[in-house]
C-alpha cells in the first residue's frame, strides 16, 4: 500500500536543509528535468555548398522518453513545458568561408540562427530556450558557402545535440 502525505507547507525543524527520502531514491514530478536526450552522428554527413541541410543526428546516447526519431532526425516531446535545446557542429574544411550558420528550427520555422566564419575547421554551438507543447518538434540545420561540399565529421566531442525540459507548461 502506498501512503500519501498532503500538506500545505513544510518547515525545517533545525539546520539548513530538509531531507526527503534516502540515498539512491529517485525524484519524479514537475521538478525533474525530464524528458531529456543527447544525440550524435554515427558517420560523416556531407553538406552541399550554399544549401541549408538538416543535420542527421542518428546515434542516440540518451533518450529518457523515446521522443527522438532517428528516421526524421527530430525531437518531438509529448510533455509540455519550457525546454533547453543545444546543438554543435563544425565542418571538416580548412577553407575559409564567410556565410556559415547553425540553426534550430521548431515546427519547420527557424527560432535561432547563428552565423560564424569558417576559419580552419571552426565550429559553432547554439542554444535556445523555447516552449513546447505536444506535437511540437525541433530539428538542427547547417549551411555554408565554402565553395564545395564539406563534411560534418562524426566526432561526438564536436558534433552533438541535446535538450531537456526545465519547467512545466
Give the start-end residues of each E strand in 32-148. Answer: 36-40, 45-47, 53-54, 59-63, 68-69, 74-75, 81-90, 97-106, 109-118, 123-132, 138-143
Q: Is this model's pTM higher than 0.75 or not?
A: yes
pLDDT digits (tens, 9 = 90+) for 115-158: 776 666 667 788 999 999 999 999 999 998 888 888 888 887 88
| Contact predicate 64/44, CB 8 Å | no
How far apart CA 95 and CA 146 sit, in angstroms, is 6
pLDDT digits (tens, 9 = 90+) for 4-60: 878 888 787 777 777 777 777 766 665 666 899 999 999 999 999 999 999 999 999
pLDDT digits (tens, 9 = 90+) for 47-75: 999 999 999 999 999 999 999 999 999 99
What are the cell numbers at 145?
558557402
- Residue 164 in this model has a pLDDT that exceeds 90: yes
Cα dihedral sign for 141, 142, 145, 151? negative
pLDDT at position 2 is 74
pLDDT at position 121 is 61
Q: What distances in angstroms separate CA 112 from CA 104, 125, 164, one per listed residue?
A: 5, 11, 17
Domain ranges of the chain: 36-167
**CB 23: neighbour CB atoms within 10 A?**
5
| Contact predicate 118/146, CB 8 Å | yes
Place of cell 507543447: 133
What CATH code would you report for 36-167? 2.60.120.40
Amino acid at each position: 500500500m502506498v501512503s500519501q502525505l498532503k500538506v500545505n507547507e513544510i518547515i525545517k525543524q533545525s539546520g539548513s536543509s530538509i531531507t526527503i527520502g534516502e540515498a539512491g531514491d529517485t525524484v519524479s514530478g514537475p521538478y525533474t528535468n525530464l524528458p531529456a536526450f543527447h544525440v550524435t552522428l554515427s558517420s560523416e554527413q556531407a553538406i552541399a555548398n550554399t544549401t541549408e541541410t538538416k543535420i542527421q543526428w542518428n546515434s542516440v546516447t540518451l533518450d529518457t522518453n523515446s521522443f527522438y526519431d532517428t528516421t526524421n532526425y527530430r525531437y518531438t516531446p509529448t510533455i509540455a513545458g519550457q525546454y533547453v535545446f543545444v546543438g554543435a557542429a563544425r565542418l571538416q574544411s580548412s577553407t575559409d568561408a564567410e556565410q556559415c550558420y547553425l540553426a534550430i528550427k521548431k515546427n519547420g520555422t527557424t527560432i535561432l540562427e547563428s552565423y560564424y566564419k569558417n576559419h580552419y575547421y571552426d565550429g559553432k554551438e547554439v542554444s535556445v530556450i523555447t516552449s513546447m507543447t505536444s506535437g511540437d518538434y525541433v530539428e538542427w540545420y547547417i549551411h555554408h558557402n565554402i565553395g564545395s561540399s564539406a563534411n560534418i565529421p562524426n566526432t561526438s566531442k564536436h558534433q552533438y545535440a541535446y535538450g531537456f525540459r526545465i519547467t512545466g507548461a
